Structure 1
Amino acid sequence: MNLRTLAAVLLSVASFTLLYGQDYFESSKPGWLEIARSTTPVLHEEILRPVAAVRAVQDPSAFQGWRYESLGTPDFHAKNFKEVGEITLDFGRHITGYFSFHTKVLNNSQDAPVKLKFMFGELPAEMNTPLDPWKGTLSRGWMQDEIVTLTDMDEWVTLPRRMSFRYLRIELLGSSAGFDFAIDDLFFKAVSSAGENQVPLLETCPEEIREIARVSEATLKECMQTVFEDGPKRDHRLWSGDLYLQSLANRYSFRNFELVKHCLYMFAAFAGENGVLWSNVYDFPKWGPQYGSYCLTYCLIWNSTLLEYLKDTGDYQTATDLWKVAKRQIEDAMTYMRPDNIFDINARPVWLFFDHRAGLDVNAMMQAAMIFALKDTYELATMIGCADEVKEYPALVKAMTKAARKAYYDKDKEIVVSGPGAQVSILSQTWMIKAGVLSPKEGRKAIVNALADPETLMPSGPYATHYLIDAMMICGMHEQAREYLVDYWGGMVRKGADTFWECYDPDDDMLTPYSFFPLNSACHAWSCTPTYFIGKYPEVFQK
């Protein structure tokens, strides 16, 4: 069966399902949902209090133009807060969880409500940039500022909203002249399902890389809640693209594989009626997918996550149970194939995410991503004894690899190009290497050539940079990979990061995909992977 015939058959099956309202996995979903619920992790709790009071300093040399200066140990607890008026507290590190505070009347009787404003922030600039008028392209509701009106003093108040922050500013907005009061105690209950690190670094590990690993693990830990979250400050949900990277980092840190299983089953339980996975799912405020959010690249990488989970755990039951979900993702993706074995990104509307970089042409990298998915899915099938179901995959890989080289590899310039404008991007080289379309020797040359061209589109964030480091390691560019990791993620550490950021361009501190940089997450799932490289390749990174 050629690719055109195969795609037509698969498309007709999908159309039949949608036309008659049948659900591919209707009989399996209740069992999958039960397994997902039964594997919901317990959150570990830690009580923390602020380590210092701080003062904001506008500093052009600081990240995004602001830094905090310590004023020493907080001493406001016994003071009349009407005289304090405003205070900013540093909890010493990024934390996620729930804030509680206690107030007491110092004299007379409370004769009116007290109004307080709490501002929680991850970074100094976020705390010191006016939020209104709102300029962001995402909801104003994500920002962590809360106004609390106290009608009763002398009691504990716990904010119902979970916060993710390092710094807290408390402002008095309104009080009566008839009595004085104090905020005499406060604490934060930090939560995470991560547990303890299970993979210590070698004693020979250089201090700079050790610090990068520490921040990487802190990032992952903060994102490990009842699911592997995208970001604990914003997007409180599970994305399959992030899950893949988090599962790799988890292997060389916390080794909480039960959480990976939990997340895999959540995706399967909420698959669309056509059997295709949504890009992300929620477990709060209630379980379910983000309907309408379909990202084909994320569907395909889910298969790789299932494969890596099987390798990590030997859990053949789960892999076999979810195999038909993995197979279905390939069936859907194959409907985009042209007769000449090229993935057609214009076959029908589809979201293909590789990076936020504006103007990025994804033709070449999508061809490679499809080849990579076929390889991983066939390996998964082989491991669980289902290779006969997809025996055509190796031939498809061979045909698509040949087509990819013909369409996208410029032999004369020894570089991968993409799209009608023959665009050169780092990610086109990266994915062709990851898919095995280029040999390690060709890959090394392609990366070197791309990096040497000032017109090359570079990655705009940690998600894409992960794949560049991965490609360098595949090509044997060990020294370059180490230098790039230390320069990129180490650059964030040098700029004050205690968890790694969603967006980072060494040359643009204000980079944001949301039109307003305070919306950026300063603790983001796809930024956590240095610990994966450091752990997997100790001979490269730890000596």
Structure 2
Amino acid sequence: MKKIVYIFLLCGLFATDLASAQAKKATWIYYPGDFEVWLGNKMQNRRTDRGAFLPVLWKMDSHYVLVEFHKDFDVPAAEEVKLYVEGTYNVKVDGQAFVGYPKSITVPAGHHKLSLKVYCQDRVPSVFVQGNTVVSDGTWLTTFEDKEWIDATGKVSDKSGTVYLNAGAWNFNNPLMPPSKFSLPTTPQHAVSSDKNANSFFLDFGKETFGFVKLHGLKGKGKLHIYYGESKEEAQSVDHCETLDELTINEPAKKDSVMELSKALRYVNVQFDGSISVDSVSMLYEYAPLKERGGFRCSDAEVNKIYDVSKYTLSLATREFFIDGIKRDRWIWSGDAYQSYAMNYYSFFDSPTVTRTILALRGKDPVTSHINTIMDYTFYWFLSINDYYQYTGDKTFIKQFYPRMQTLMDYCLARRDKNGMMSGLAGDWLFIDWADGLSKKGELSFEQLLFCRSLETMATCAKLNNDTEGAAKYQALADELKAKIFKLYWNEQKHALVHSLIDGVQSDNVTRYTNMFAIFFNYFNEQQKQDVKQNVLLNDKIQKITTPYMRFYELEALCAMGEQDYVLKQMKDYWGGMLKLGATSFWEEYNPDKSGADVYAMYGRPFGKSLCHAWGASPIYLLGKYYLGIKPLTPGYNTYLVEPNLGGLKWMDGTVPTPDGDIKMYCSASEIKIKGDSGTGILRIKSKSKPACKDATIVSKGNNVYELTVEKGKNYAITYTAL
């Protein structure tokens, strides 16, 4: 396989007109969201199940095949403008079309409108325009229907009714590397051990990894089989391993051969017959070149290992998009992605991968099903936009795609039952979690809670779009639903929200899910929080959670209640338990009660479980937000809170990235050092006596709580006595 490697964060910029050192730099542009949809289709349809194509379970949308781009320019002097286009196109200046398909045009001095209309079926219609002042970038306007017509007199119609958006753009800054040629970079990787026999190789790459197996010196005629395994047992199981390659070889001379599709692996079992010979086997490691920004170190070596493996797990599951796991699905699941976004904000802070994933999940109108067909995953999609705005402060994205939020919410509102609740109709998958015996009957409190939060998100986004009527409508619906949740689901005897209503009657079952979400949504009053903590979260009689997916939220709720000491022990027990079993990345599911072959089994298959699953990396988020204690108070960290909690650690040292720099902090039981590169922070300290800092005024807030203001770019050293 000849693979085009496009290192998108480090690609060279197109050399513009050398006669002008002031020439602006161009980028490829396209209809916003279309590249994301196109790339998502391409990536998600690479999944195989033991060599057989396995397509997604939901409707797949496509890009718009005919797109118009334009922008007005003030051109100081006539200039040559070069045109690079993906598709068939025409080009106009001030409405006058050029003949044919020019590769360059001359734009005269003065005020002019340049427009291109592009048709492309197999790729996303895209343009790269490079002049001195006339360049393509995200300020261009674009539409998929310009509604332009000419009457009998030759008069061109007014374009009223046409909706224009700002063009989509990313890091495609080289005219010879258009969006359609995008791929992740690769680098050679070699096994740490290789057992070679006459007709086989068995390789161990030392840890979980991902990429393309490469056969060196392949020659001969016959059948060649490659069996992949996240565990040694899986790679050895030729009948049950989840992924494999089968090839018919007819090579008269030695050559190197790279497999067509990338795979998750630690172990590789290569077997061949006939006259085939292979000199050696390696791989091309495929990766997203993310920049390491967040960091965490502490006094506990096991916690440091948990953090490192969490970060490696997230990096493996961050590909073109945030995906679930690298072995089996390799799809974009909204619930999985929602957690990846949170971890990303405390590690790489890679906003383009967030928005790219959000857009690929949403797709196009009309809406015909929930995202991934899962009701709760639709709600996570709304919540992800709220979080994205809080962490990045990016209003432009929300304003651009607010109409897609509206139509998805319209779909949800149209599927409410007679009580105004979401209870699941034909085609709706109610997931919540992988848990034995979890009832999905009736009106589930968990779905109503996520629905309520989604309506609140809509109200926030409506305000950002100056949609006062929409903001009032969504907020009223959220307030009404929240009142219903507490009226219908709260049980005074159980001191908790019950799991469901069936025919209007409370079920007897109490689960952790709704109750823990209501804590960090801040829906409970203080007494209810304490009741839920004791009667649900710390109650072993309530069904336990065995997936890292929901452990994420369970431990977040406990951290929000100040239980960092307890959570640290849980983290060491749960994630440390996987490490003790030899995990080099964290798993889709871990049940300490399972042993032997059952450790790898899931979905009724002996090796169905993913041993590298994004939702297993949640310690990144927990350690950043609830131990370092750093979170935005206003969008984009314009203001932020730092509330460190050692949780039993002797010291910790960490970095939390923000849109405009980093927040660095060291904390022990007697000293805190902090510096923020942007925004204004509030450092909140719990101390037995008033802390001391020569560079700031410390204000007592009562009950041994003290605060000081962290100004941008200043270093602070505080001495205190931890409670």
TM range (shorter): 0.7 to 0.9
In the TM superposition, residue 503 of structure 1 has moved relative to its aligned partner by 1.9
Q: Give the 3 Å change call, closer, same or farther, for CA 104–425 of structure 1 in structure 2.
A: closer
List aligned pairs for 1:263-302, cutoff 5 A.
263-268=357-362, 270-274=363-367, 278-279=371-372, 294-302=373-381
- Identity among equivalent positions (%) equals 22
1:151–1:33 CA distance, 2 compared to 1 (3 A): farther
Taking the aligned partners of 1:259 and 1:125, their CA distance within structure 2 comes to 34
* Cα offsets for 1:474-506 (capped at 9, x unmatched): 333222232222222222122111111112222
SS at match of 1:466: helix
1:256 aligns with 2:334: no
Which stretch has the larger CA shift, 421-430 or 388-397? 388-397
Pick aligned residue for 1:519 from 608, 611, 616: 608
Q: How does 1:412-431 map to 2 (within 5 A)?
A: 412-419=493-500, 420=502, 421-431=507-517
Q: Does 1:535 align with 2:624?
A: yes
Residue of structure 1 equivalent to 2:689: none
Deviation string 1:279-300 (CA, Å, 9 cap, x unpaired) is 2xxxxxxxxxxxxxx2221112
1:198 equivalenced with 2:293 (yes/no)? yes
1:35 aligned partner: 168
Displacement of 1:531 in angstroms is: 0.9
1:314 to 393, 410, 417: 393
Which residue identity does 2:531 align to in structure 1?
K
> Is 1:310–1:316's contact at 8 Å kept on the other side of the alignment?
yes
Q: 1:139-150 to 2 correspondence within 5 Å?
A: 142-150=242-250
Separation in structure 1 between the aligned mates of residue 324 and residue 422 of structure 2, nearest angstrom: 29
Aligned position for 1:445: 531
TM-align CA RMSD: 3.1
Rounded Cα–Cα distance in structure 1 between residues aligned with 2:437 and 2:218: 57
2:491 to 399, 410, 422: 410
Secondary structure of the residue aligned to 1:201 is strand
Distance change (3 Å), C-alpha of 1:228 and 1:390: same
Deviations along 1:390-449, whole A, 9 cap, x unmatched? 213333333222221222222123122223532121213223324433235423432332
Give deviations 1:368-388, integer Å, cap 9, x for gaps.
111222223323333454454
CA contact (8 A) 1:95 1:190 kept: yes
Contact 1:101-1:156 at 8 Å conserved across structures: yes
Instruction: State the alpha-carbon separation in 2 of the partners of residues 245 and 32 from structure 1.
Output: 29
Counterpart contact for 1:444–1:477, Cα < 8 Å: no
Corresponding residue to 1:391 among 472, 479, 483:
472
Find the partner of 2:565 among 479, 483, 486: 479
> Residues 382, 482 of structure 1: CA spacing in aligned structure 2 closer, same or farther, 3 A cutoff?
farther
Distance, in Å, in 1 between the alignment partners of 2:408 and 2:526 is 29
Q: Where do residues 82-481 of structure 1 align in structure 2 (5 Å cutoff)?
A: 82=198, 85-103=199-217, 113-129=221-237, 131=239, 142-172=242-272, 174-176=273-275, 183-202=278-297, 204-268=298-362, 270-274=363-367, 278-279=371-372, 294-338=373-417, 340=419, 343-346=421-424, 349-361=427-439, 363-419=444-500, 420=502, 421-451=507-537, 453-481=539-567
Structure 2: distance between partners of 1:104 and 1:338: 62
Unaligned 5+ residue runs, structure 1?
1-22, 54-73, 106-111, 133-139, 280-293
Match of 1:503 among 578, 581, 589: 589
Report the 3-state secondary structure (helix = DSSP H, G, I; strand = E; otherwise coil) of the residue aligned with 1:526: helix
d(CA) in 2 for partners of 1:409, 1:358: 24
Q: Secondary structure at the match of 2:406?
A: helix
Q: Tell me the distance in 2 between the aligned counterparts of 1:334 and 1:155.
A: 59
Q: Which AA in structure 2 matches 1:486?
A: K
- Aligned-partner Cα distance in 2 for 1:430–1:515: 30
CA distance in 1 between counterparts of 2:452 and 2:218 reads 65
Q: Are positions 1:46 and 2:46 aligned together? A: no
Per-residue deviation, residues 98-128 of structure 1 (Å, max 9, x unmatched): 11111267xxxxxx62433221111233224
8 Å CA contact 2:490, 2:498 repeated in 1: yes
Please list every run of 5 or more consecutive structure 2 residues that lacks an aligned counterpart in the other structure: 1-60, 68-141, 145-163, 173-178, 629-643, 653-723
1:320-362: per-residue Cα shift (whole Å, max 9, x none)?
Answer: 1111222333332233445655x24155552122101132235
SS in 2 for 1:100: strand
Distance 1:452 1:29, change over 3 A: farther
- Alignment length, in residue pairs? 457
Q: CA deviation at 1:35?
A: 3.0
Which residue type is aligned with residue 496 of structure 2? I
- Equivalent pair of 2:516/2:537 in contact (CA under 8 Å): no
Residues 488 and 150 (structure 1 numbering): CA distance in 2 closer, same or farther, change over 3 Å? farther
State the SS of the aligned residue for 1:378.
helix
Instruction: Summarize deviations over 1:46-98 as a string: whole Å, max 9, x none.
Output: 21101124xxxxxxxxxxxxxxxxxxxx6x5xxxx52xx44421112211111
CA-CA distance at 1:197 after TM superposition: 1.4
Q: What residue identity is the alignment partner of 1:222?
A: L
CA distance in 1, matches of 2:526, 2:248: 59
Q: TM-score by structure 1 length? A: 0.76
Q: Partners in 2 of 1:250 and 1:194 — Cα distance?
A: 14
User: How much does 1:463 deviate?
Assistant: 1.3
Equivalent residue of 2:296, what SS?
Answer: coil
Which whole-Å CA distance do the structure 2 matches of 1:42 and 1:205 have between them? 40
What letter is aligned with 1:195? L
- Deviation sequence 1:254-299 (CA, Å, 0-9, x none): 222111122223234x2341376632xxxxxxxxxxxxxx222111
CA distance in 2, matches of 1:517, 1:377: 43
Q: 1:441 to 1:86 in 2, by over 3 A?
A: farther
Matches of 1:426 and 1:354, distance apart in 2: 11
Whether contact under 8 Å (2:228, 2:234) holds in the other structure is no
In structure 2, relative to structure 1, the CA distance for the partners of 1:346 and 1:99 (3 Å cut) is closer
Q: Partners of 1:353 and 1:413 in 2: how far apart? A: 24
Q: Which amino acid aligns with 1:478?
A: Q
- Look up the SS of the partner of 1:154 in the other structure: strand
- 1:201-236 per-residue CA deviation (whole Å, 9 max, x = no partner) reads 24x352212111111111111111112222221212
Q: CA deviation at 1:145?
A: 4.6
TM-score, length basis structure 2:
0.58
Question: Relative CO higher for 1 or 2, CA cutoff 8 Å, sep ≥ 6?
Answer: 1
How much does 1:239 deviate? 1.6
Structure 1 position 160, deviation (Å): 0.9
Partner of 1:70: none
Q: Deviations over 1:126-175 (max 9, x none)?
A: 2244535xxxxxxx8x5235345343341111111211111112224x23
Would you tell me which structure has more strand in proportion to its own residues?
A: 2
Quick one: structure 1 residues 301 and 121, their matched pair in 2 at CA, closer, same or farther if it must change by over 3 Å? same
130 and 47 in structure 1: CA distance in 2 versus 1, 3 angstrom threshold: closer
Q: Which has the higher Rg, Structure 1 or Structure 2? A: 2
